[in-house]
């Protein structure tokens, strides 16, 4: 009798974990930037009718609000992404394997 052919190993499925992690980080970063700027934009929006002048004031208010707080948004996004990866709470980053 001839020996049976070796069983073919299936290639592991492609999982873009690093790319998905970067996408989550970018999303959280923009969310925290929006949360920092939102109170200033709401205050400008309550002042009157939409106009070109109001748009310039909103842009100036957003710039002033985020000035110096960008590192805070970066660190917060990094921490939340790290916690989400550690807790396996982010879709696309969960796996069925045992916890490390």
pLDDT for 85 equals 94
For the chain, what's the residue count? Answer: 100
pLDDT for 96 equals 56
Cβ atoms within 10 Å, residue 54: 14
pLDDT tens by residue, 14-60: 888 999 999 999 999 999 999 999 999 999 999 888 889 999 999 99
Report the C-alpha gap between 77 and 75 in whole angstroms.
5
* pTM of the entire predicted model: 0.79
Both structure tokens of 42? 């709401």
Both structure tokens of 70? 């960008």
């Amino acid at each position: 009798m001839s020996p049976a052919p070796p069983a073919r190993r299936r290639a592991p499925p492609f999982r873009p974990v690093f790319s998905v992690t970067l996408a989550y980080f970018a999303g959280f970063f923009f969310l925290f930037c929006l949360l920092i700027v939102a109170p200033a934009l709401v205050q400008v929006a309550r002042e009157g009718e939409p106009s070109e002048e109001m748009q310039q004031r909103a842009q100036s208010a957003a710039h002033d609000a985020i000035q110096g707080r960008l590192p805070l948004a970066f660190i917060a996004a990094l921490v939340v992404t790290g916690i989400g990866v550690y807790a396996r709470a982010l879709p696309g980053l969960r796996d069925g394997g045992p916890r490390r």
